[in-house]
Structure 1
Amino acid sequence: MVNERVLEKLEILSDAAKYDVSCASGQSKRANKDKGLGDSKGYGICHAFTEDGRCVSLLKILLTNHCIFDCAYCVSRKSNDVKRAAFTIEEVVDLTINFYRRNYIEGLFLSSGIFDSPDYTMERLVKIARKLRTEQNFNGYIHLKAIPGASEELMKEAGLYADRLSVNVEMPTEKSLKLLAPEKKHQDVLRPMTYLKTEIAGYKEEKSRNRKAPLFAPAGQSTQMVIGATPESDLDILGMSHHFYSQMNLKRVYYSGYVPISDDNRLPSLGTPVPIIRENRLYQADWLLRFYGFEFNELVGIDQPNLELDVDPKLSWALRNLDQFPVDINSADLEMIIRIPGIGVQSARKIVAARRFRRLQPEHLKTMGIAYNRARYFLAFSRPFSRQPDFTSNQLKQLILTAQKSKYTSAFSTQLSLF
């Protein structure tokens, strides 16, 4: 049984952890061994529930919300008047095992405020992961926060026990970091990222030669940027993400819309939270960078530094590049089909596979799971009458938005008729 004091800590430190969004499980495949507890499959983990009923996959907590830093955007900053708490190493281990045995969770996401020093904090995080792996024989998913400024020796040990490590860059630019967290430097984040990149590649190479070689952060590394606390454009943000993906081999960049928590005059006022749609558009753009072959400067640029909020980034790109459409679905290459609004990667592959056996027409595409009512404006089928009338970019945008609005209004009306 979990005692009341530990439950009180859990309430405080799980609530403080909600501001760190870089906690999705990744492509780790840590197999069960020696009849231990749990495993970590590529499909992720589940069975942890929040108070409002949302299902989450990991026990997501801070080791402590005490912190020696005073970052203006952070709820755990040292000058903030909040209730403080700290788990012991044994308490985190016991919570993880007890919650796992009850089928509440299958993994742990563990971050922390910095108390005493980066090395001291990182050492305690590593001890928790080591105890879970070596003493409890726990083979479930573990995501550890890599503390900037901690020694390479601790980073290396963390990678041997954790499935994923994340070093949060926090602000998109050095200028903003200096403004809101003057004690921190971007270089302190980039240094451990570079080290982990090298170690991950080295262990992966060793594993390819020796199947018995140890795992090292098999789900890679990730980071998080706070969005909207400072005036960076989406061009700045996606440019930084592009650097992380291309130069640091990161698996994910997470975007956390700033939640007003302070009347500090360096920050947006308490009454102006970041629109959730901006966060959503950044994630959509990020997906295009990682899986659709887009370059970040195709989505944003000097002439349009921010993503449009009323349409998704892929449709926005298509509307700005109507000269590349319509696309003949029966002859275009996979890379171009993927760029058609309403067609995803898997559907594009189905199209390429299916057209080897027949010349595709609209009725065939409708059975493949694409958003045909959107895609049809950008398609040609090698028949003159199947081509869509010429529209200007703005006319086509309004046509699609009107159809989308009508669709949701119709669905809402149908739902009302059921009552």
Structure 2
Amino acid sequence: MNERIIEKLSILADAAKYDASCSSSGGKRKNMDKGLGNAEGMGICHSYTEDGRCVSLLKILLTNHCIFDCAYCVSRKSNDVKRAAFTVEEVVDLTMNFYRRNYIEGLFLSSGIFSSPDYTMERLVRICKKLRTEERFNGYIHLKTIPGASEELIQEAGLYADRLSVNIELPSELSLQALAPEKNYAEILTPMSQIQSKVAANREERELFKKAPQFAPAGQTTQLVVGASPETDHQIIQLTDSLYKGYGLKRVYYSGYVPVSGDQRLPQVVQPPLMREHRLYQSDWLMRFYGFDADEILDPAHPHLDLEIDPKLAWALRHRHVFPVDVNTADYELILRVPGVGMKSAKRIVAARRFAPLTLDHLHKFGVVLRRARYFITCRGMALEKREYDEQTVRRKILYGDGQTRSALVKRQLDLFAPEPTIVTAPDLVSPQLDLFRQAG
């Protein structure tokens, strides 16, 4: 690999690290005859972390040149950064070379907008088409759709990419107008709607014709920046709920605002709001898998997520009248709402209690976190706590334990093999390790 390509890769992989919209897709693309690669639903790894852990998605921009001047974006037109652009052939060659050397399992491709949305989108589509038709590449492809691109290009993109995504950018159109005045919600929501309708139409077509080509089999996603604008968590969750219900999105990704410029329109923060981002993901999970409505997680009276406790525990503390519930008789949906009980644990509880009444030992074996759940359940009609505690006492006991204070916990030496899980924040994604890539040349 020559030095010019390495320099481009360094610039454009680093610029792509701010895009969080890639994860296991669940999409399945079977290998075609004499093809190369396979995208099975076992999960796709996505980038390189700072400590060098191996992941396998080549995540790059086609270019970081951009005609827009979005205040929160590192590639904004007025930002003084190194610029670069790949050609279509260079991206195809990089992808195939890395794939053949088993460095990657797929491609995540986005781009700044140069010249026009259609001009940029046409080149992105050409890359995907060339990979699929000329190189016979069957690995995973996640393609960012450019807002404002024509419907014809979106249609063609969906025939070659496993997943499409359109970034909604900010939680409200008012903030979008303030921080990215060249963009508008109409140009973002229109392709979302087009993708949704094309996915639905393709599903019906494939029921009639099994060999009909797939359209974006892994669906579509979006991403929004958290912390660059004044919206509350309640507003963000309401938006997320409307996107899931109105546009059939597979995932909404939240990206804590990383200060990349000194623009006066932006908040002056020292570091990204990682814990807030984490709580939003937990809330998202509750809506998608635990049966929570957006209005249950937050409301106008409680517009912000509690950063000390997870949103399910926060809901349970606000709704003490619902608890305790008996694990031997309660519905599956109600057991799911008990803090410390996950989906697997709830299913094990419902399956096992058909044969015998459950005991505390059963719950422990099923993976229930009793340190949290004990205040919200009964077992065979007996409460696990002898006393009823008010909301603040339960909160304090769960956070700090019995008879301990925050300072006592802080002083305790951390155990590398502690039996209780510790929440850690994901390391910042960085550009691929160029020393490794030099070996591909």
Q: Shared topology, TM-score over 0.5?
A: yes
Equivalent position of 2:21 in the other structure = 22
| Letter aligned with residue 17 of structure 1 | A
User: 2-side partners of 1:408 and 1:353: how far apart?
Assistant: 40
Corresponding pairs, count: 414
* Pair 1:375-2:373 in alignment: yes
Runs of 4+ in 1 over 2 A off after TM superposition: 45-52, 54-57, 271-275, 382-388, 403-411, 413-416
* Pair 1:412-2:414 in alignment: yes
Shift of 1:261: 1.2
| Letter aligned with residue 182 of structure 1 | P
Shift of 1:411: 6.8
Residue deviations 1:23-51, cap 9 Å, x none? Answer: 11311100111121111111212486445
Structure 1 residues 361 and 283, CA, compared in 2 at 3 Å: closer, same or farther?
same
Equivalent position of 2:89 in the other structure = 90
Q: Are the aligned partners of 1:141 and 1:163 in contact in 2 as well (CA < 8 Å)?
A: yes
Structure 1 residues 77 and 243, CA, compared in 2 at 3 Å: closer, same or farther?
same
User: 2-side partners of 1:341 and 1:228: how far apart?
Assistant: 28
Structure 1 residues 386 and 76, CA, compared in 2 at 3 Å: closer, same or farther?
closer
Structure 1 residues 285 and 409, CA, compared in 2 at 3 Å: closer, same or farther?
farther
Q: Are the aligned partners of 1:37 and 1:137 in contact in 2 as well (CA < 8 Å)?
A: yes
SS of residue matched to 2:401: helix
Give the fraction of aligned pairs with identical amino acids, expressed as a percent.
Answer: 60
SS of residue matched to 1:412: coil
Shift of 1:108: 0.1
Shift of 1:148: 0.4
Shift of 1:160: 0.4
SS of residue matched to 2:414: helix
User: 2-side partners of 1:384 and 1:24: how far apart?
Assistant: 43
Residue deviations 1:344-374, cap 9 Å, x none? Answer: 1111011100000000011111111121221
User: 2-side partners of 1:180 and 1:344: how far apart?
Assistant: 39
Structure 1 residues 388 and 318, CA, compared in 2 at 3 Å: closer, same or farther?
farther
Equivalent position of 1:99 in the other structure = 98
Match of 1:390 among 388, 400, 410: 388
Pairing of 1:157-172 with structure 2 (within 5 A): 157-172=156-171
User: 2-side partners of 1:164 and 1:252: how far apart?
Assistant: 11
Shift of 1:222: 0.3
Equivalent position of 1:364 in the other structure = 362
SS of residue matched to 2:374: helix
Pairing of 1:126-141 with structure 2 (within 5 A): 126-141=125-140
Shift of 1:206: 1.3
Q: Are the aligned partners of 1:45 and 1:105 in contact in 2 as well (CA < 8 Å)?
A: no
Equivalent position of 1:113 in the other structure = 112
SS of residue matched to 1:343: coil
SS of residue matched to 2:372: helix
User: 1-side partners of 2:158 and 2:386: how far apart?
Assistant: 54
Q: Are the aligned partners of 1:49 and 1:104 in contact in 2 as well (CA < 8 Å)?
A: no
Equivalent position of 1:52 in the other structure = 51
SS of residue matched to 2:365: coil
TM-score if structure 1 supplies the norm length?
0.95
Shift of 1:384: 3.6
Equivalent position of 1:281 in the other structure = 279
User: 2-side partners of 1:397 and 1:48: how far apart?
Assistant: 37
Structure 1 residues 381 and 252, CA, compared in 2 at 3 Å: closer, same or farther?
same
Shift of 1:408: 8.8
Structure 1 residues 181 and 48, CA, compared in 2 at 3 Å: closer, same or farther?
closer
Pairing of 1:11-410 with structure 2 (within 5 A): 11-46=10-45, 49-50=48-49, 52-269=51-268, 271-384=269-382, 386=384, 388-403=386-401
TM-score if structure 2 supplies the norm length?
0.91
| Letter aligned with residue 144 of structure 1 | L
Structure 1 residues 144 and 47, CA, compared in 2 at 3 Å: closer, same or farther?
closer
Residue deviations 1:53-102, cap 9 Å, x none? Answer: 13333100000000000000000011010000000000000000000111
User: 1-side partners of 2:384 and 2:87: how far apart?
Assistant: 67
Q: Are the aligned partners of 1:9 and 1:86 in contact in 2 as well (CA < 8 Å)?
A: yes
SS of residue matched to 2:375: helix
Shift of 1:383: 3.0
User: 2-side partners of 1:247 and 1:314: how far apart?
Assistant: 24
Shift of 1:208: 2.0
Shift of 1:273: 2.8
User: 2-side partners of 1:117 and 1:304: how far apart?
Assistant: 42
Q: Are the aligned partners of 1:70 and 1:181 in contact in 2 as well (CA < 8 Å)?
A: yes
User: 1-side partners of 2:157 and 2:283: how far apart?
Assistant: 31
Higher relative CO (Cα under 8 Å, sequence separation at least 6) belongs to: 2
| Letter aligned with residue 20 of structure 1 | D
Q: Are the aligned partners of 1:166 and 1:221 in contact in 2 as well (CA < 8 Å)?
A: yes
**Segment drifting more, 58-67 vs 371-380:** 371-380
